[in-house]
Amino acid sequence: MKTKLWEKENNVTPHWLLEFTAGNDKLLDIELAEFDVLGSIAHAEMLAKVGLITFEEYSFLKAELNAILIAIKNNEFVIEDGVEDVHSQVEILLTRKLGDVGKKIHTARSRNDQVLTDIKLYTVSEIKKTISLVNELFRLLISKSEEHKTVLIPGYTHLQAAMPSSFGLWFGAYAESLCDDMEMIIAAYNIANKNPLGSGAGYGSSLPIDRSITTELLKFDGMNYNVVYAQMTRGKSEKTTSMAIATLAGTLSKMAMDICLYNSQNFGFISFPDSLTTGSSIMPHKKNPDVFELVRAKCNRLQALPNELTLLINNLPSGYHRDLQLTKEILFPAFKEIQACLKATVKMLEEIKINKTAINDEKYKFIFSVEAVNQLVLDGMSFRDAYQKVGAGITSNTFEFNGDIKHTHQGSINNLCNDEITKRFEKLSAKV
């Protein structure tokens, strides 16, 4: 039995060539197995409805494909030695059971549109998982923002203590950042969530297929209509998704950096239970934030994804090229990495301890200088004169301020607008 969909009679391909061209596909294709079967079930139903196979043949194919699906979900599905990829393995299993009926599954379908469909279904599924984790982190950040909204901390510019901030602002800032990240994620979802099945090798088919049937069965929002463009989305969907992942990674990386700083003795704004930090082999006092150091590092790497995909696909003309096989090696691990970082961040933030008195340190005295200037302005003095007066007090070391913060405009210390931010996030989440 042939183990490659493109194999011809009396064609012996050198082993080294097969090994080189297959690359990591056998390992990565396990991720696609469920979607390959779901795509095949939809394709078989369409073939029956347009009369290319009988409904009896469809029932046989569906039963065997469902049996394969159960094996996949039970972690019993394997791509056998000598079998090139998941598509070949599924067809081999069908042919072993059903003979000539099994061979009909590839009617009006190319491996090109088959893998493209699998990747799009996979991407949509992984984006949904990612959105669920983003949702969990968002809720936690808003909760922490409300819980600690009256706790002041210094705000920094140029890494110099600048003006009063608060944990309400700090947690809420990252919650709102996730709103913008969701915009990117949803854009990637919308681009991926279109059906390419039926585009064949990239130029359609002379067989009377109906692509609207598989679009509906696979629950795609629509289809990539032009068959040439359908193949052009291979790489484009992955690149768009990588941009969304990179944007989200940027938020997590920045927050991780803040946490590493705030956790240090020089800042002392936050801490974590000993069980969530690591020690040193020679320094018994160390409590290192290794989780967030790794979140920072992993997310910095993830921000390189769009560039990596750009370099891979940038000079390819239209049509399928084997270069595109490597997009799986970039995208699939990226989903696992960003999801792991989201989970770890949530677990850590659930246990964060807030220092409510950090602001009382004498070194933060002058961050209230702008408050003093503004108070003089409210009392009728011009801003420039008020600025000079407070500056003179700082220079002569006579500056004093009672620490009373009166920030009331939208998005400030005493008016966080967390409800508005939450409404925006929920509106975005509802689009998926």
Catalytic residue IDs: 158, 280
Work out whether the CA dihedral 258, 260, 261, 264 comes out positive or negative. positive
Distance, CA of 337 to CA of 347 (rounded, Å):
15
With CA atoms as reference, report the closest residue to 215 among 199, 201, 192, 196. 196
| DSSP labels, 87-122 | HHHHHHHHHHHHTHHHHGGGTT--HHHHHHHHHHHH
User: How many whole angstroms separate alpha carbon 369 and alpha carbon 372?
Assistant: 5
Whole-angstrom Cα Rg for the chain: 29
**Which element (helix H / strand E) includes 157?**
strand 152-157
Q: Give the number of other CB atoms < 10 A from CB of residue 257.
A: 16
DSSP letter (8 states) at residue 80: -
Residues 292 and 276 sit within 8 Å (Cβ to Cβ): no
Neighbours of 172 (CB within 10 A): 23
